[in-house]
A = this chain, B = another copy of it.
Amino acid sequence: MKIAVLGHGTVGSGVAEILTERKTEVSSAAEKEIELGAVLDIKNFSGLSYSDKFVTDYSEILDDPEIGIVAEAIGGTEPAFSYIKSALKKGKSVVTSNKELVAEKGAELLSIARAHNVNFLFEASVGGAIPVIRSLYTSLNATGITEIAGILNGTTNYILTKMFREGQDYFSALADAQKLGYAESDPSADVLGFDAQRKIAILSSLVWGSTLHTEDIPAEGITNISAKDVYLAEKCGFSIKLIARAKRLENGKILARVSPALVKKDSVLANVNDVFNAVLIKSETAGETVLYGKGAGKLPTASAVVADIIECAKADGNIKSVFWQNGAQNTAADKNSHRERFFIRTLSKACFMPKGTDEIEENAYITPPLTEKELFMLEEKADEHCRFISKIPLFE
């Protein structure tokens, strides 16, 4: 079976490399011969062992009956979306690492794949090499999943790790991350939480069967975390992580959010450092499961794309458990249906904190569980002199 790779950037070149250099292992895992058939790119990459496979016209791939699987590694919505749709309609399975597209168009693409009895798989779109998507639709599928929480963005995790280990402030840690290629020159999508927002949208949609729209997931990034917050959190036995969460409430609604959170130092998530990612899954029968690994990088991401290629090659038609629909069924829950404790830092002594508040340090508090509205009302009460400098939920 021949594979076409769309786009020869970081991920695409990694996929082409693995398919070429690890052909024997990949074919043996797929139980049939797997061969790189074509690479679509506008540039010409000479000097590679597969330089003769480059094409610039997508119709050559679409019209080649030997190409059974297309690996999309262009990124963004267009032309990726049109390319994927036309491949699925031609009866070719598609695998992708494109989280933007899966979060936005997943339901539509999964439905087209099902109608044509092929597959649309996207393991690499969340958590890179971590086998989270596959575990969710196979091993953990019937366990009654109630909650997912993850460290899903490597850039912000690297920055926070630096701030904790070296006492750096946010901007100098960001500059370091940029120097090492872990953050882009415009880091907004990562540091403002939009990348993690897309990923938790995908996990939630898959697990509970109905699209959770990114616009229904409040996202707060790490740009307001100060060295002082880090110092105080550390002192009280916490780490600060950017946590993406989705929880199914009793009424079937999904409560989801991306925000920094204080995590107990001796928990597994607190010790996910540098660019690593991890996903915590809570379920009725399996209890707590955590999957940890390389969330980004050329070969880790490409290895997940190749694992999906193998899965498509082995599948006997459409895999029914990978599916969700657009529907009102699992809409976002009311944010005030949930209470959590908050770490609060104020400008000066706050005399209006609710009963049960711990003063952990001068002008630093941990509140009892509050709804967002209750927190807001508390903040309203604060006057100029003791206004809130930081308010970070505890992840418990």
A interface residues (Cβ-Cβ under 8 A, vs B): 18, 22, 25-26, 28-29, 31, 123, 129-131, 134-135, 138-144, 266-268, 270-273, 276, 278, 283-294, 297, 299-300, 302-304, 306-307, 310-311, 316, 320-321
Contacts and interface: CB of A to CB of B under 8 A. Distances in A.
Given A285-B302, A289-B131, A294-B288, A29 B321 contact: yes
B135 A29 contact: no
A25 B143 CA distance: 8
Given A135-B134, A291-B292, A292-B290, A142 B285 contact: no
A110 to B, nearest CB: 15
B299 A142 contact: no
Contact of A307 (B140, B270, B290, B307): B140
A142 B289 contact: no
B266 A286 contact: no
A27 to B, nearest CB: 9
Contacts of A29: 141-142, 321
B285 A143 contact: no
Contact of A285 (B123, B303, B311, B316): B303
A307 B140 CA distance: 7
Which of A140, A288, A289, A311 is packed against the most chain B CB atoms within 10 Å?
Answer: A289
A22 B142 CA distance: 8
Contact of A268 (B143, B292, B299, B303): B292
Given A142-B29, A143-B303, A287 B291 contact: no
A22 B144 contact: yes
Nearest to A290: B292
A268 B271 contact: yes
Given A123-B139, A131-B289, A290-B293, 20 more contacts: A25-B142, A25-B144, A129-B286, A129-B289, A134-B135, A135-B135, A138-B307, A138-B311, A142-B310, A143-B303, A268-B272, A268-B292, A271-B271, A286-B294, A287-B293, A287-B297, A288-B292, A289-B293, A290-B290, A290-B291
Given A135-B131, A138-B307, A300 B286 contact: yes
A290 B292 CA distance: 5
B292 A292 contact: yes
Nearest to A137: B29
Contacts of A293: 286-290
The list of the 6 closest CB pairs from A to B, nearest first, reads A131-B139, A129-B286, A285-B303, A289-B293, A290-B292, A287-B294
Contacts of A290: 278, 290-293
A286 to B, nearest CB: 4
24 contacts: A18-B142, A25-B144, A31-B320, A129-B285, A130-B289, A131-B135, A131-B140, A138-B307, A139-B304, A139-B307, A140-B307, A141-B307, A142-B310, A143-B307, A268-B292, A283-B303, A284-B299, A286-B293, A286-B294, A287-B297, A287-B299, A288-B292, A288-B293, A290-B292
Nearest to A270: B271
Nearest to A307: B139
Contacts of A286: 129, 293-294, 299-300, 303-304
A291 B300 CA distance: 16
B25 A306 contact: no
B131 A138 contact: yes
Which of A131, A140, A290, A292 is packed against the most chain B CB atoms within 10 Å?
Answer: A131
